[in-house]
Amino acid sequence: AGSPGEPLPGLVLFRWQWHEVEAPYLVALWILVASLAKIVFHLSRKVTSVVPESCLLILLGLVLGGIVLAVAKKAEYQLEPGTFFLFLLPPIVLDSGYFMPSRLLFDNLGAILTYAVVGTLWNAFTTGAALWGLQQAGLVAPRVQAGLLDFLLFGSLISAVDPVAVLAVFEEVHVNETLFIIVFGESLLNDAVTVVLYKVCNSFVEMGSANVQATDYLKGVASLFVVSLGGAAVGLVFAFLLALTTRFTKRVRIIEPLLVFLLAYAAYLTAEMASLSAILAVTMCGLGCKKYVEANISHKSRTTVKYTMKTLASCAETVIFMLLGISAVDSSKWAWDSGLVLGTLFFILFFRALGVVLQTWVLNQFRLVPLDKIDQVVMSYGGLRGAVAFALVILLDKTKVPAKDYFVATTIVVVFFTVIVQGLTIKPLVKWLKVKRSEHHKPTLNQELHEHTFDHILAAVEDVVGHHGYHYWRDRWEQFDKKYLSQLLMRRSAYRIRDQIWDVYYRLNIRDAISFVDQGGHVLSSTGLTLPSMPSRNSVAETSVTNLLRESGSGACLDLQVIDTVRSGRDREDAVMHHLLCGGLYKPRRRYKASCSRHFILEDAQERQDKEVFQQNMKRRLESFKSTKHNICFAKSKPRPRKAGCKKARAFFGTSVGAGAAVILTVESEEEEEESDSSETEKDDEGIIFVARATSEVLQEGKVSGSLEVCPSPRIIPPSPTCAEKELPWKSGQGDLVVYVSSETTKIVPVDMQKGWNQSISSLESLASPSCTQAPTVTRLPPCPLAAEEPQAPLDPRPSFAFPPSLAKAGRSRSESSADIPRQQELQPLMQHEDQSHLSPGTASSHWCIQFNRGGRL
Amino acid sequence: MPGSLPGVSSDQIEQLRRRFKQLSGDQPTIRKEHFNNVPDLELNPIRSKIVRAFFDNRNLRKGPSGLADEINFEDFLTIMAYFQPIDVIMDEEQVQLCRKEKLRFLFHMYDSDSDGRITLEEYRNVVEELLSGNPHIEKDSARSIADGAMMEAASVCMGQMEPDQVYEGITFDDFLKIWQGIDIETKMHVRFLNMETMALCH
C-alpha cells in the first residue's frame, strides 16, 4: 500500500535470495556431495574392497579443494575446528559409544586403559623429545622456531590415535573382536589424555618455559584425573538422566529417539563447556544408557535411534574426510620442512611400535589370553592419526607457537600418510599375517546358556577361593544393577521380563520363524523331530510367531496409537530383523499380494493418500459388516466360497466400562473342524482385523461393501482405541498384554504338536501376564458349542480383553496377519490426529452401542 | 594328578590351603555344609549345582558316579585345577586336552544322574535354575527355552533326523560338537596369580 504518488515497485516475479540461504544451503550441498561420492564409490565393489572409503574421500577432497582453489582463487570450505568439535565429532563418538560391545570392552578394559593412558603419554613425550633431539642435531631447518615445549605440544597432538580414522579403516578389515576393541577402545579413551596434554603443553608454551613452576606440573598431572574422570562422570550423569527420562515416555513414544540424541549431545556440550573430555563423556553416556534405554523405548524408536545414529555418524565421517582433503589444498598454511616431516613420520611409527611391544609385554604377564606378535604388529600399524590431530593443530595460536605452519603441514602429511598408506596396506597385511579374523557365527541358545553357566561358575569359584577378581566384581555389579539400577531406570514392564537368556531365545525364535517361512512352511510337514516330551522345532516357530503377534499386540487391531502398542522390554530383535520379518513373512503368500497392494501404496504414499485409502478400506469393511444385515453367518459376505467347515460364528465381548464406554466386539467365525495341513495355505477363514476408531466420518459414508479381499472373514474388534487405551487395563500399569488364546486354537495344530503348542501358549500367557496381582482379569470364554450364536456377555463387569482366537491361530497363518499388521501400523499414526478431532466419547459410545446391539442380535 | 597344579606356584597352593582351612574350620575335610559359610555364594542362582560339582566323584576322578561326602585338600585342588588358565607353553594337543577337561566339568554339572547324557529333564532343570534369579520368568518359559536349546543341540549333532528318530540327550561327544568354534579360553579360568589381593575372609 504505497502512496499514490510513488510508482509501485510491482510484483517481483522472481527474486534471487542466495545470501539468505547461503550458509545452510552450502552445508546441505556439501553433505550431498559427500553422500553422492559415497554412492559412486560403492558402485564398484572392486574399488571399495581394495581401497578404504576414507582414502577415497580424502582424495576426492583434494580434487574438490583444487577445483575450489582454481575457481575462487582462495581456499575455502575447510575443516574448521569449531565445526569439527561441535558438530562432526559428536555423532561419530555417540555412535561408537552406544553400539560399543560393552562386555568385550570391560573384559579388556585393563589393556585398553593401559594403551590409552600410558601409550599416549609415552608416544607424546618420546615423539616430542625425539623431534627436539632432531632439531638439536641440526636435522630440522633452523627456520622452524620451536623449543622443547613446542615439540612436546606437537607431540601431544600428533600422538593420539584417532577414533574416526581407526573406525573407518578397521570396520573394513574385520580383525578379531579382541584386537578391534583394544585398538578402537584405546582411540576413544585416549581423548582425555590428549586433551590434557594438549592443554597443559599449550598453556606452558603460552606462559613461556621460564615461568612454569613446579606446581604447574603437579596441576598438569591433577588435571589429567579431573578431565578424564570428570568427563566420564558427566557422561554417566547424563546417561542416568536419559535412562530415567525414557522410563516415562510411554505416552509420547514419538520423541524417544530425540531424547537419546539430545541428552547425549547435551553431555558432549556440557563436558566441552567444563573443558573436560567430551569424547569420554559421550562414550560413557552411550555406553551407560544403552541397556536401560533399549529396554524402555519402543521397538520403532529403537530402530529409529539405530538408523539415525548410523546415518549421522556415517555422514559426519564422510564430511570429515572430505574436508580434510580440501583443507590440505590451502597452501597458505603450508610450510614444508623435510626434516621435520620425515622425522615425525618415522618417530610416530617407531615409538608406537616400541610402546606397543613394551606395554604388551607387561600386560601379557597379567592377561589370560596373551596378545601375540601378530596382534602387536596390527596394533602398532593400526595407530592411525586423523582429524582430531588436524583440528587441534589448526587451533594453535601462531603468535605463541611460531612454528605453527610447519606443524600444520607435518600434521597433514602424517594424517594423509596414516589414513591413505596405512589404510591401504593394512588389509593386505592382515591377510598376509593371517590375523585371526572375527568369526560371525550365529549365536546359539546353547552357547548363551553355557556362557551364563560359566559366568556363574567362575563367580562361584572366586567366592569359594575367596579371591575377589574380575568375575567377582562383575557378579556384584550385576546384582547391584538388577536390584537397584534396573529397577529405578527401567519401566516395570520391561524390568520384570528382562533376561538375557530369554532375549536370545526370543531372537532365535524369530530367526527360526523367518527360516521357516522362507522354506515355505515345508518344515512343518517334512521334519519329524521327535524328542521325548518335547515340542518339535516347529512349535518353537509357532511360539515365536505368536510372540510376534502379541508383540504387535493391539497392533493386530487397527490401533491408532500404534506407537504405544509395541512393547519395549521384549522385542530385542534388531531393526534388520524387523524388516526381514515384514518381508519374510509376507513372501510365501503371493496370493494376496494383489489384494493387499493398497497397503503397499500406503507405505510410501503421502499422508493424504494414506488417509483416503485407509478410509476406503474402512468404509468397505464397515459396510460389508453392515451389509451382513445382522446376519448370523458372516461368511456369506465373503467373496470367495468358504470351506464347508464353517459352521458357527462366535462372539466375544469384552466391555470396558468407563467414560469412553468402549466396547470390544469380537465376532469370530471359526472353522469348527480341525484343519488339515493342507489348509495351511488356505487362508480363506482369516478374519478381518478390524478396529476402527469410531469416526463419524467413516460411519456416515458408503453403502456397498467391496469384496473383502484381505481378510474375508470379518473379525471385528471395534473399540475406540484412544478411549479404550485409557480405560483398558492392558494399556496401562504393567503394560502387559493379556494374551487370550482360545483352546479352540489347539485344534488347528496338528495332533503331534499339540503338546508343544499348548506349552508355548501357556508360556506366552504366563509371560504376558506375569504373576502380578494387578494384572487385568481375563475373561476366558469357554469354547462354545454350536449353539454359540448368542453372544456371551462377560459376567465380569471389569474391562477385559479377548485376544481373538483366530489371531492366535494366525500363528499358523503367519503371512497375512503378520505382514498386514506392520503395514497397518504404518498408517495408523496418520489417522490419529484427524480421528481425535472427530471423536468425542459420546459419539463413540453411542455408535458402538449400536454395534453392540447388532452384535447382540447375532 | 591331584595336588599337582602346573602353573600354580607353591605360594598359591599355600594360599589355597589357608582358604581351605578357613572354609573347613580347621578340619581336614570339607563337607557340603561348609559352603554355606561363603556369603557371596548365596546369590548364585546355580549355587547348588556348583557346590555339588565339588563333591562329584567324576570330577574328583574317584568313580563313574555318585557324590563324595567330604573332600580333602587334594580333592579341592583337583577341582581347582579345572579352572587353571591355559599355559602359553602348552602345545596344541595339551590345549585340546585341557579344553576337553574343562568342558567335561561343565558336562558333569549338567548330567546330574551320571548316565553320560544330558537329558531333556536335566537340561530343563539347569535352565530353570539359571533363570531362577528373575522371579518374573515362569517355569514354563524356562522349559521352552530348554526345549529350544535341546532342539538346537539335536539339529547340530544329528543333522536332519528321520521322523521316527528319537534324540535322547546330549552325549559328551555331542557336547564337544556344540562347543566347536566357541572360544573358551577366556571363559573358564580363574586367575590365581594375584593371590595377594585375596580377600581375607568374612
- Domain layout of chain A by residue ranges: 19-47, 81-433, 445-514
Which amino acid appears at position B76 of this protein? F
Cβ of A543 within 8 Å of Cβ of B144? The answer is yes
Res A759: pLDDT: 54
Res A264: pLDDT: 93
At residue B201, does pLDDT exceed 60?
Answer: no
User: CATH number of the domain that B31 lies in?
Assistant: 1.10.238.10
8 Å CB contact between A165 and A386:
yes
Cβ of B140 within 8 Å of Cβ of A456? The answer is no
Count CA atoms within 13 Å of residue A853 on its CB side: 5
pLDDT-derived band at A570, boundaries 50, 70, 90: very low
Which amino acid appears at position A835 of this protein? D
DSSP A784: P
Res A233: pLDDT: 94
Cβ of A766 within 8 Å of Cβ of B140? The answer is yes
**A-B Cβ pairs (cutoff 8 Å, strict):** 209
Interface membership of B181 toward A (CB under 8 Å): yes
CB-based contacts of A456: which residues, under 8 Å, 6+ apart? A475, B44, B45, B46, B50, B130
Cβ of A453 within 8 Å of Cβ of B126? The answer is yes
DSSP A778: P
Interface membership of B152 toward A (CB under 8 Å): yes
Question: For A787-814, what is each residue's pLDDT tens digit?
Answer: 334 444 444 444 434 444 444 344 444 4
Structural domain boundaries, residue B133:
91-183
Question: For B6-43, what is each residue's pLDDT tens digit?
Answer: 455 667 777 778 888 887 777 778 887 777 777 777 77
Cβ-Cβ contacts under 8 Å, A464 against chain B:
19, 23, 35, 38, 41, 54
CA distance B166 to B164: 6
Res B17: pLDDT: 81
All three cell numbers of A552, joined, read 504387535
Cβ of A465 within 8 Å of Cβ of B127? The answer is no
pLDDT-derived band at A577, boundaries 50, 70, 90: low
Cβ-Cβ contacts under 8 Å, A472 against chain B:
40
Q: Is residue B116 part of a domain?
A: yes
Element (H, E) at B146: helix B139-158
Cβ-Cβ contacts under 8 Å, A107 against chain B:
186
- Residues of chain A above pLDDT 70, percent: 57
At residue B156, does pLDDT exceed 80?
Answer: no
All three cell numbers of A56, joined, read 577415497
CA distance A83 to A88: 6
Mean pLDDT on A136-159: 83
pLDDT-derived band at A443, boundaries 50, 70, 90: low
Q: What is the mean pLDDT of chain A?
A: 67
Cβ-Cβ contacts under 8 Å, B150 against chain A:
531, 534
Q: Is residue B4 part of a domain?
A: no
pLDDT-derived band at A624, boundaries 50, 70, 90: low
Instruction: Describe the crossing of helices A500-518 and A537-551 by its angle, rounded to 10 degrees.
Output: 110
Cβ of A756 within 8 Å of Cβ of B147? The answer is yes
CB neighbour class for A25 (10 Å; exposed up to 12, middle 13-18, buried from 19): exposed
CB-based contacts of A286: which residues, under 8 Å, 6+ apart? A93, A94, A95, A96, A97, A98, A99, A100, A239, A264
Domain boundary among B32, B52, B82: B82
Q: For cell 522354506, name the residue.
A: A519
Measure CB to CB from residue A763 to each of B50, B140, B152 and give the nearest one. Answer: B140
Same domain, B61 and B111: no
Domain boundary among B23, B51, B82: B82
Dihedral of the alpha carbons of A251, A256, A258, A261, in degrees to the nearest 10 = 150
At residue A330, does pLDDT exceed 90?
Answer: no
Same domain, B169 and B106: yes
CA distance A643 to A682: 9
Element (H, E) at B31: strand B29-31
Number of domains composing chain B: 2
CA distance A812 to A821: 15
Same domain, B78 and B95: no
Residue A666 or A373, more confident: A373
CA distance A352 to B159: 50
Q: Is residue B196 part of a domain?
A: no
Among B131, B145, B184, pick the best mutation site for testing chain A contact (most A Cβ within 10 A): B145
- Residues of chain A above pLDDT 90, percent: 8
Domain boundary among B35, B50, B82: B82
Same domain, B71 and B114: no
Among A364, A463, A474, A511, pick the best mutation site for testing chain B contact (most B Cβ within 10 A): A463
Same domain, B153 and B73: no
Cβ of A467 within 8 Å of Cβ of B198? The answer is yes
Cα Rg of chain A, angstroms: 33
Q: Is residue B1 part of a domain?
A: no
Pairing of strands B70-72, B29-31: antiparallel
Q: Is residue B202 part of a domain?
A: no
Res A5: pLDDT: 56
Q: Is residue B178 part of a domain?
A: yes
3-state helix, strand, coil in chain A (%, to 5): 65, 5, 30
CB-based contacts of B96: which residues, under 8 Å, 6+ apart? none
Cβ of A763 within 8 Å of Cβ of B144? The answer is yes
CB-based contacts of A508: which residues, under 8 Å, 6+ apart? A443, A444, A445, B148, B152
Which amino acid appears at position A149 of this protein? L
8 Å CB contact between A665 and A716:
yes
Give the Å distances, CA to CA, from A668 to A66, A717, A720, A801.
71, 10, 19, 14
Q: What is the ipTM score, two decimals?
A: 0.86
Mean pLDDT on B187-195: 55
- CA A90, A92, A97: angle at the middle one, nearest 5? 90
Cβ of B155 within 8 Å of Cβ of A529? The answer is yes
Same domain, B119 and B178: yes
pLDDT-derived band at A358, boundaries 50, 70, 90: very high
Cβ-Cβ contacts under 8 Å, A763 against chain B:
138, 140-141, 143-144
Mean pLDDT on B93-112: 80
Cβ of A759 within 8 Å of Cβ of B133? The answer is no
Question: For A402-441, what is each residue's pLDDT tens digit?
Answer: 888 888 889 989 999 988 888 888 888 888 888 777 666 6
Residues 92-131 of B with CB under 8 A from A: 106, 109, 120, 126-127, 130-131
8 Å CB contact between A535 and A523:
no
Number of H helices, E strands in chain A: 38, 2
At residue A741, does pLDDT exceed 90?
Answer: no
All three cell numbers of A68, joined, read 575450489
Distance from CA of B197 to the nearest CA of A (A): 7
At residue A612, does pLDDT exceed 70?
Answer: no
8 Å CB contact between A564 and A728:
no
Cβ-Cβ contacts under 8 Å, A373 against chain B:
none
Closest by Cα among A826, A228, A842, A351 to A562? A826
Q: Is residue B5 part of a domain?
A: no
Report the range of poorest mean pLDDT among A61-70, A318-327, A413-422, A844-853: A844-853
Pairing of strands B117-118, B170-171: antiparallel
8 Å CB contact between A74 and A68:
no
Same domain, B146 and B68: no
pTM over 0.80: no
Which amino acid appears at position A458 of this protein? L
Same domain, B75 and B103: no
Q: Is residue B175 part of a domain?
A: yes
Cβ of B197 within 8 Å of Cβ of A468? The answer is yes
**Tell me, which fold does domain A81-433 have in CATH?**
Na+/H+ antiporter like fold (1.20.1530)
* Backbone conformation region of residue A224, classed left if phi is above 0, alpha if psi is from -120 to 50, else beta: alpha
Cβ of B143 within 8 Å of Cβ of A763? The answer is yes
Interface membership of A470 toward B (CB under 8 Å): yes
8 Å CB contact between A181 and A436:
no
